[in-house]
């Protein structure tokens, strides 16, 4: 049985090649400090409407250790979380936040080394009043995310592996990485040159 942590050694670039654009979050979802470690874990999903962060604050006390908390946010005007929320999440073993929104207290978050992939920072916090279900489907960075999907995030971006495909994708990723490791740069260059020249010739390009 494949576990989400087994994706820890798989670059997001490899997963993106296998899964395609639809499973890759938009470039606005970026690590907020660097160098960003690669994180991998099952999604624990949260939906926060505009100006409200109640459910993320609820989630840090409920998400299992190892989870990547994935947040759909209704705006970029109010912070979803700050230093204390990230500290509690880290203490409880949550792997990271991936948020289609903003946080605050970035210096504290960077100092503690808690991975946050989000759209940026803003100093004003949101309200805490809108109750929503946890672990329902959310949309983050343009990708639909269900609870239990595998989320892999690193300095290249964030990729979501559907839970039903995790064994298939992990096996394919490992095979691809093994092939790449066994291929010299000279061999890659020769194959690459041949492939590009063939495409150019078919397109009528002349040197």
Return the H-helix or E-strand segment holding 58.
helix 54-59
Q: Where are the domains of the chain?
A: 3-163, 172-203
Whether residue 193 is annotated as binding a ligand: the answer is: no
Whether residue 83 is annotated as binding a ligand: the answer is: yes
Which pLDDT score, from 0 to 100, does residue 207 have? Answer: 81
The 3-state DSSP class for residue 28 equals: coil
What average pLDDT is seen over the chain? 97
Whether residue 176 is annotated as binding a ligand: the answer is: no
Which pLDDT score, from 0 to 100, does residue 61 have? Answer: 98
Whether residue 82 is annotated as binding a ligand: the answer is: yes
Which pLDDT score, from 0 to 100, does residue 164 have? Answer: 97
Q: Is the dihedral of CA 4, 5, 10, 16 positive or negative?
A: positive
Residue 1 has pLDDT above 90, yes or no: no
| 115: number of Cβ within 10 Å | 22
Architecture of domain 3-163: 3-Layer(bba) Sandwich (3.50)
Question: Each residue of 84-126: pLDDT tens digit?
Answer: 999 999 999 999 999 999 999 999 999 999 999 999 999 999 9
Q: Cβ(100)–Cβ(75) under 8 Å? A: no
The 3-state DSSP class for residue 31 equals: strand
Beta bridge partners of 100: 72
Which pLDDT score, from 0 to 100, does residue 115 have? Answer: 98
Whether residue 165 is annotated as binding a ligand: the answer is: no
Which pLDDT score, from 0 to 100, does residue 201 have? Answer: 95
Residue 2 has pLDDT above 90, yes or no: no
Question: Each residue of 144-173: pLDDT tens digit?
Answer: 999 999 999 999 999 999 999 999 999 999
Q: Cβ(173)–Cβ(18) under 8 Å? A: yes
Which pLDDT score, from 0 to 100, does residue 142 have? Answer: 98
What's the rounded mean pLDDT across residues 34-42? 96
Tokens of 120: 């940026």
**DSSP sequence for 141-173:** TTEEE-TT-EEEEETTEEEEE-GGGHHHHHHHH
Which pLDDT score, from 0 to 100, does residue 166 have? Answer: 96
Whether residue 195 is annotated as binding a ligand: the answer is: no
Which pLDDT score, from 0 to 100, does residue 206 have? Answer: 87
Does pTM top 0.85 for this prediction?
Answer: yes
């Amino acid at each position: 049985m494949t576990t989400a942590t087994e994706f820890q050694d798989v670059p997001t670039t490899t997963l993106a090649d296998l899964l395609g654009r639809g499973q890759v979050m938009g470039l606005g979802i970026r690590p907020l400090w660097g160098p960003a470690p690669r994180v991998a874990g099952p999604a624990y999903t949260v939906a926060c409407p505009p100006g409200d962060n109640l459910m993320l604050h609820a989630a840090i006390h409920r998400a299992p250790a190892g989870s990547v908390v994935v947040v759909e946010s209704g705006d970029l005007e109010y912070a979803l979380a700050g230093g204390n929320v990230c500290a509690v999440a880290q203490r409880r073993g949550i792997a990271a936040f991936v948020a289609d929104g903003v946080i605050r207290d970035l210096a504290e978050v960077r100092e503690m080394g808690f991975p946050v992939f989000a759209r940026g920072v803003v100093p004003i916090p949101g309200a805490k009043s809108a109750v929503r279900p946890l672990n329902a489907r959310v949309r983050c960075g343009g990708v639909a995310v269900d609870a239990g999907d595998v989320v892999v995030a690193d300095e290249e971006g964030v990729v979501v592996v559907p839970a039903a495909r995790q064994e298939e994708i992990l096996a394919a990723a490992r095979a691809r990485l093994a092939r790449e490791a066994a291929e010299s740069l000279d061999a890659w260059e020769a194959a690459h040159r041949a492939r590009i020249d063939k495409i150019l010739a078919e397109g009528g390009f002349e040197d």
